[in-house]
């Protein structure tokens, strides 16, 4: 950085290695639009308060507006020697409009400037992510509505447990995503305060109208403490924390798609558009997109850890370490964005195999709980009923039978309460329909859940 850029304090040019090491414009140019918008709001406020003239403010706003178009068109020449996005924009503005451009930075510091830019960028990234979550939720709602009659085993410990509807399982994924969306919007609400006016750390002597600047940029209010405003990045920790949980949920969905698309399960066939082949095995159809969603989760969680380690021992207020907050934040949002879109494509185009799911219900003794419940409803203490059902499962294992294949006499050998009605209770559809509590897999409940999800999506559209 030359003396021309920084004023009279320095006699030497910055060492070339130090300049390269400290430059951030290769990644923070992504904040250019937010930086321009923040500068326009700032200079308009300065003019309203009489800190700069109306003519200078008009020239600055016009110049910044032209720069914004230039940046959007990809025509802005970024100079690493100017270190960051802020100095690149201010220097180019001054070259274009002359002396007035030098007045833009009155009453602010790059410290409150970048804190504002990052809040604006993160707020918009959260809004975009929420929309993409809603898109995936819409796909899940559609697929759930199509699959009320697809019955499959629900699993615990990856062991077949009890029968459920495929729509119920898809809606479980939707519930996780709804909470992810809520966490992101909670983070958005907390970050929506404007740091401008905090300057380097202690505010400024100029008579700024911080409320006006905050309102112009869509913030709820100015930040309350200037040291905290420029020296904290917990809003990024919270946002990337929410992204990390979302990425973990997406990984769980992806893992089930990988399992279900295996020949051992064969519950789903992924479309050609979201699978790949093998370089050596012609028969392979690999669920690579789901696997990559699963794999990229570590990347997002790693960014959260990186940010935490970045901030863990920094004294107030701003420290240059905080320049390193941007790459992990940008990449975390990018990765979750792409993962959401890829999974939406995977699920929208997948084919679920109803017959294969039904076949899986015939093995694994998923009716065992129905036996215990049936006995308990007839006065047998549940713990005793549980033991009876367990003995019947053991009998089936030894005889190579399923529970519905046992005769009434065989059932009565374990408990005299059994009668012919037990066989109806062993039907998977019957078992599911008996679970008609709120949040359960009975058809009416699942249909209501799909309708409620669609209503929420319509309200948010």
The CATH number that applies at residue 409 is 1.10.40.30
What pLDDT is recorded for position 179? 98
What pLDDT is recorded for position 8? 66
373 and 248 within one domain: no
310 and 431 within one domain: no
439 and 389 within one domain: yes
- Please name every residue paired with 155 in a beta bridge, in sequence order, or none if there are none: 160
Mean pLDDT over residues 118-123, rounded?
98
Task: Judge whether 7 lies within some domain.
Answer: no
Task: Judge whether 16 lies within some domain.
Answer: no
Closest among 257, 119, 248, 122 to 180, alpha carbons compared: 248
272 and 124 within one domain: yes
Task: Judge whether 300 lies within some domain.
Answer: yes
Catalytic residue among 42, 157, 279, 417: 157
Token representation of residue 198:
């905090």
How many domains does the structure of the chain reveal?
A: 3
254 and 143 within one domain: yes
Mark which of 55, 73, 106 sits at the end of a domain: 106
Task: Judge whether 134 lies within some domain.
Answer: yes
Catalytic residue among 278, 339, 349, 387: 278
Mark which of 317, 336, 355 sits at the end of a domain: 355
Task: Judge whether 401 lies within some domain.
Answer: yes
131 and 170 within one domain: yes
What pLDDT is recorded for position 410? 94
Catalytic residue flag (residue 157): yes
356-387 pLDDT, tens digit per residue, is 999 999 989 999 999 999 999 999 999 999 99
The CATH number that applies at residue 130 is 1.20.200.10
287 and 413 within one domain: no
Mark which of 106, 129, 155 sits at the end of a domain: 106
The CATH number that applies at residue 45 is 1.10.275.10
349 and 397 within one domain: no
Task: Judge whether 17 lies within some domain.
Answer: no
Catalytic residue flag (residue 415): no
436 and 372 within one domain: yes
**What percent of the chain shows pLDDT beyond 70?**
98
421-434 pLDDT, tens digit per residue, is 999 999 999 999 99
What sign does the CA torsion over 267, 270, 275, 281 have? positive
Token representation of residue 338:
């792409």
273-304 pLDDT, tens digit per residue, is 998 887 888 778 899 999 999 999 999 999 99
Task: Judge whether 94 lies within some domain.
Answer: yes
Report the mean per-residue pLDDT for the chain. Answer: 95
287 and 150 within one domain: yes
What pLDDT is recorded for position 2? 39
Task: Judge whether 214 lies within some domain.
Answer: no
54 and 148 within one domain: no
**3-state class of 409 per DSSP?**
helix
- The yes-or-no verdict on residue 3 having pLDDT over 70 is no
What is the domain range of residue 74?
22-106
125-181 pLDDT, tens digit per residue, is 999 999 999 999 999 999 999 999 999 999 999 999 999 999 999 999 999 999 999
Q: Are 432 and 151 in contact (CB under 8 A)?
A: yes
Closest among 289, 256, 255 to 271, alpha carbons compared: 289
pTM for this entry: 0.94
């Amino acid at each position: 950085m030359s003396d021309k850029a920084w004023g009279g304090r320095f006699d030497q040019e910055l060492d070339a290695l130090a300049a390269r090491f400290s430059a951030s414009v290769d990644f923070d140019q992504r904040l250019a639009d937010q930086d321009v918008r923040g500068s326009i709001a700032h200079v308009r406020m300065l003019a309203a308060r009489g800190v700069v003239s109306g003519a200078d403010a008009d020239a600055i706003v016009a110049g910044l507006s032209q720069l914004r178009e230039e940046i959007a068109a990809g025509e802005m020449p970024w100079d690493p020697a100017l270190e960051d996005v802020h100095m690149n924009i201010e220097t180019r503005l001054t070259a274009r409009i002359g002396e007035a451009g030098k007045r833009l930075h009155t009453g602010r510091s790059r410290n409150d400037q970048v804190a504002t830019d990052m809040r604006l960028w993160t707020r918009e990234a959260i809004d975009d992510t929420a929309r993409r979550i809603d898109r995936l939720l819409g796909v899940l709602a559609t697929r759930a509505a199509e699959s009320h009659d697809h019955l499959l085993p629900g699993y615990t410990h990856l062991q077949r447990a009890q029968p459920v509807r495929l729509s119920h399982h898809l809606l479980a994924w939707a519930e996780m995503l709804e909470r992810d969306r809520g966490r992101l919007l909670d983070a958005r609400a907390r970050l929506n305060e404007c740091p401008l006016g905090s300057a380097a750390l202690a505010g400024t002597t100029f008579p700024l109208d911080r409320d006006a600047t905050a309102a112009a940029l869509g913030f709820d209010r100015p930040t309350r403490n200037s040291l905290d405003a420029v020296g904290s990045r917990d809003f990024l920790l919270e946002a990337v924390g929410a992204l990390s949980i979302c990425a973990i949920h997406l990984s769980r969905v992806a893992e089930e798609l990988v399992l279900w698309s295996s020949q051992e399960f064969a519950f789903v066939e992924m479309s050609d558009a979201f699978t790949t082949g093998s370089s050596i095995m012609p028969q392979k159809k690999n669920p690579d997109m789901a696997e990559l969603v699963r794999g990229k989760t570590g990347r997002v969680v790693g960014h959260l850890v990186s940010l935490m380690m970045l901030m863990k021992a920094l004294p107030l207020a701003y420290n240059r370490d905080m320049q390193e907050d941007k790459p992990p934040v940008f990449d975390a949002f990018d990765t979750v964005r792409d993962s959401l879109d890829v999974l939406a494509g995977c699920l929208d185009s997948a084919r679920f195999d109803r017959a294969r799911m039904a076949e899986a219900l015939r093995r694994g003794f998923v009716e065992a709980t129905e036996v215990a419940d049936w006995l308990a409803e007839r006065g047998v203490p549940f713990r005793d009923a549980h033991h009876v059902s367990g003995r019947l499962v053991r009998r089936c294992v030894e005889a190579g039978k399923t529970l519905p294949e046992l005769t009434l006499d065989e059932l009565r050998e374990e408990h005299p309460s059994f009668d012919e009605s037990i066989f109806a209770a062993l039907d998977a559809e019957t078992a599911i329909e008996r679970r008609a509590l709120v949040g359960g897999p009975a058809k009416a409940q699942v249909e209501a859940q799909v309708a409620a999800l669609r209503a929420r999506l319509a309200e948010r559209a």
